[in-house]
Amino acid sequence: QIQVSQVKDGKVVYEKEDFQVSTEAMNAKPGVAYRYRIRYYNKDGYGSDAAKVYGNWSGYRYFAMPAISGKRTVSAIKIKLKKMDCIKGYDVFLKIVKGAKSPQGKMMLGVSPIKNFKATGWKKTKTLGKKATQLTIKNAKKGKRYYVRVVPKIYVDGKVVKNDLETWVSK
């Protein structure tokens, strides 16, 4: 069983006995910080009348997807961020792939689990404050594809907690 609630007010937004779940299935919205927890259950007996026996809830884990958009110009990457509650700031990572065509225009957006950035060639380029609304990466060169990952720093009970998701744009 999984239970997802908003960090800001604790309101439960999704609760289901399901093994596979996605941000789309739980209707998670960009710009909102969430916490989630799980617990196991087993049926005591057989058939449709078997009672469910629940274990203890796990501790909370957290995720937040910033509401971002990006645009590539001739010489820069411009990213816009919408303000989020319960966020202390953002860590920004950059990966540049040479030889990949990258036309100007709107950038592709995605969300995925946090990965080991150092092992895959990512470099932390900036840390933004919680009031940040935009980010510009200057001197973007032709013939290179730029991937930008934006990871919100979720602030709970006076401390920053680990974010289990990252949001990225590429062009």
pLDDT one-digit tens code per residue, 93-114: 888 877 666 667 777 766 666 6
Q: How far is C-alpha 15 from the geometric centre of its chain's CA atoms? A: 20
- Its pTM stands at 0.79
Neighbour tally for 109: CB within 10 Å: 15
pLDDT in tens, 23-75: 777 778 888 999 999 999 888 878 777 888 999 999 999 999 888 888 888 88
3-state helix, strand and coil shares in percent for the chain, rounded to the nearest 5? 0, 55, 45
